Structure 1
Amino acid sequence: MLEYFNDLKAAADSAKPAADKTPPTAPGSLQASVDVKEKTINLTWQPAQDNVGVVSYRIYRNGVNIDSVKIPHWKDTAAQPGTKYDYYLFAVDAAGNVSPASNHVSAEIPVEQSQEKPRVPAGLSVSATTQTTLDISWQPVTNVAISQYTVYRDGLKVQSSPLLSFHDSGLSANTTYIYSVVAQSVAGDLSELSAPLRAVTLADPATLLPAIAAWETDIAYESGDVVTYHGKKYQCLQRHTSIQDWNPEDALSLWKVVK
């Protein structure tokens, strides 16, 4: 009787199919395309071949298994614009055998460029003034993201920076300068030129002093008057009408040397 059951078991075992140990072929011709409107990356590939049948494809993005599908196409809806992604995949059969990896593809959704130009910078004003420096400032442009402001002095570019102010130095005293500003967006778009700002440096105090006249004859000088004579300055000590012999060098009772 035992031999009978052993024969039945042997017959049943011989009737079972052999275990599947053959992996699928690698998925072929993996390709990536970008849908800019939907902001997605779409993958397509040629199906893998298997002696029994492929049941799924494991999709990897930047080395991480992020999904598994049964059909030879897939859409990445989580990709971020401006980031480059690397994709590849494996085929898996019903026995769990895994194929070699497919070819790698890379794709990136472009960052959407702003169609709106920056507004014209406004509110230009002078915040500080000296004989040789001018500080100007303006209000920020807020309708788009701004990367920098370019300052022009008398039509020439003098600075580009993200700051809302400009310190100009090395200028001439008592001189008028014309400033204007252009805003540039992160996307590279430029605003129109701002309204011009007229700014004037302070005058040199030395240039504001009245000129000292040279000593002359036949002039009615008052006490305190200052004149120049032979390269020196003299101050009148008492009222008089000048004659040649009463010149500042010789008439010391009428004049004294001053610095």
Structure 2
Amino acid sequence: MAGKLTRLSRFNVASLALGLAFLYLPIVILVIYSFNASRLVTVWGGWSLRWYREFFNDTAMIEAAWMSFRVGATSASIATVLGTLAAVALSRGGGFKGRALFSGVLYAPLVMPEVITGLSLLLLFVAIDAERGFWTVTIAHTTLTMCFVAVVVQSRLASIDRSLEEAAMDLGCDPPRAFLAVSLPLIVPAIAAGWMLAFTLSLDDLVIASFTTGPGSATLPIRIYSEVRLGVRPEINAICTLVIALITVVIIVASLAAKVSSAKGESAAPL
């Protein structure tokens, strides 16, 4: 029996190692080659920070990166507010009239092909004669990411004991105040996770942004795609490495904040 468990354990470890290698080995190779001194991306020429210096001297690429971060932060913040409100409506609103329609419209972008979403938004902006640029891309990304925030927050709300809010109302709180005082602190980690997911999806998007962007407002994925079509430059490896580092820092900070919030909630819970 012990030998069988050992074999199963080794198989599980090997499976885990292969899975992690499949997921992260390309990223590790990209990071390593971002420090390659050679101009050829497939030929190792020694360690160098040359391509990071090239990136910080590339004004067009920096503007595209700044555009992506601005769009990502703005759209993620708007999507987090709207998605949280929508999740609260679905979780606390009961069986209100039109719930099925509202839920279907909210979650439609989850299954809608991005090409159709991008084309639909493009036709909308053309119909209302909106100048395509920062705000059209932001609105498009908010439309895309709001449903993801709603899914994350709604799942957290479903796991919260409603009796906590009822106890607060028994002590004199009205329903909105009870929700703000009791449930909102408990769903803050889910809200933060929803914001991170929305921000990451915005940084990653190429299809919808290509439909809704305009002259002088290209995002980083669009800029990288246009550069890659002419050949992969080592500078692109450096850009992607910086983005990976930024996302890693954001995830670590959010995880620490979630742990601190959870610890505070446990310490404040009655014995």
For the aligned pair, the TM-score class normalised by the smaller chain equals under 0.3
The TM-score with structure 2 as length reference comes to 0.18
TM-score by length of 1: 0.18
Which structure shows the higher helix fraction?
2
Question: Rg larger in 1 or in 2?
Answer: 1
- Which structure carries more strand by proportion? 1
